[in-house]
Each structure stands twice: as C-alpha cells, then as structure tokens.
Amino acid sequence: MKIKAGDIIKVSRKNKKNYQYGLYIGQEEVIYYLETLEIKGRVTKTSLEDFRKKNGIIEVVDFPATREGRSTVVKSEEFMKKKNLISEGTWPEWFISQFDEYVLSTIWDTIQRAKSRLDKMEEPVFNNGEHFVWWCKVELKRKEKKEGKLDEFFNPSTPLARFPLSKKPLPVK
C-alpha cells in the first residue's frame, strides 16, 4: 500500500472497534487529533511509524477521486460507494446525507488546513479525529459556507454534531 501526501489514514485502536484517524502530509509525518485523559483535544504531528505503533495496521481511507491539483465537486452518492469511508450508522454517513454535493480540497489545501490547527487546543471545534480529517479534506459548496453551516457540522456543542445514529438523517435548517 502506497500512502500519498494528502491521504486520510486510519489505524485500528487496541479495542478493534474504533479507529484513530490522521492526515498523511508526506516525509513520513502524520497530523492527527489527539485526545487523552490529560489532553482535551489538540492537533499534533508525529511520525508515521509512531502513529502506526500506537494503533496498529494503517489503512488509506478511500475518498472519491479528485482532479489533479484542483478542488473537485463530488456528489454525495459517490461518497456512499466507498466501502471503507462510509459505514451504516456512522457520523460520515449522516454528514454526507445532509447535502447533495461536496468539494474535495486539493492535496495542498488539505495539508494547509491541517497545519493551520497544529498544536492548538481545540475548544471544542472537533469532536474527534475523524471529524478533524474530514474538516481538512471536505468542504461545503459556497452557498452552505455563506450560511455558516460548516461550523455546525464539526462543533460537538451544536445539536447537529450530537446526532443519534439512526438511518434517517436529521433535517438541516
């Protein structure tokens, strides 16, 4: 498996039920959201080897393809076809069900978004590592950005982020 800069990666945690997510930025480095009993949430950088050691086998998350060097509009159905990206009853399934189209950022933009949060204590902007890497990679279309909807989806203090894991998506106002 070849990991490329801009890839979202995940590794099984010890309990094998959850994953730790990170963004591979190249040169054997990963940026990820760290939360422990002592740390309430900080974006940090580590080596690929340390990221793997702490957690296990690395998988590259299979996002829809983008056009080389350009942000790409992707229909929500394309996300739903990716087996290791969307699982039934998960946050990504719910998130993708909220709009018809999304914008996948360029590799450079994805990495820059991650770097912009490095070593910052989140208050809480992201609920977990999965939310963080999606925030780095996926943008809403211009209309939804203007309406301020992006922050609603990634902030766990809003009702939208604390959704029930049901098959019916919550309505977006």
| pLDDT given at position 164 | 37
Q: How confident is the model at residue 4 (pLDDT cuts 50, 70, 90)?
A: very high
Token output for 93? 């399934």
* Mean pLDDT, rounded, for 3-16: 85
Whether the model clears a pTM of 0.85, i.e. scores above it, the answer is no
Q: How far apart are the first and last CA of the chain?
A: 41
Residue numbers of the domain that contains 146: 8-154
Q: Is the dihedral of CA 131, 38, 18, 94 positive or negative?
A: negative
Asked if the structure places residue 59 within a domain, the reply is yes
Asked if the structure places residue 170 within a domain, the reply is no
Asked if the structure places residue 37 within a domain, the reply is yes
Name which residue leads in pLDDT, 17 or 8. Answer: 8
| pLDDT given at position 170 | 42
Separation of alpha carbons 1 and 71, rounded Å: 24
What is the number of structural domains in the chain?
A: 1
Asked if the structure places residue 57 within a domain, the reply is yes
Reported as type and span, the H/E element at residue 92 is: helix 91-96
Residue 41 maps to which CATH number? Answer: 3.90.1720.10
pLDDT digits (tens, 9 = 90+) for 19-50: 889 999 999 999 998 877 677 778 899 999 99
Q: What percent of the chain has pLDDT over 90?
A: 23
CB atoms within 10 A of CB 166: 9
Asked if the structure places residue 56 within a domain, the reply is yes
Asked if residue 122 has pLDDT above 80, the reply is no
Asked if the structure places residue 172 within a domain, the reply is no
Asked if the structure places residue 75 within a domain, the reply is yes
Classify residue 79 as exposed, middle or buried by CB count within 10 Å of its CB (0-12, 13-18, 19+): buried
Token output for 79? 């996300």
Asked if the structure places residue 146 within a domain, the reply is yes
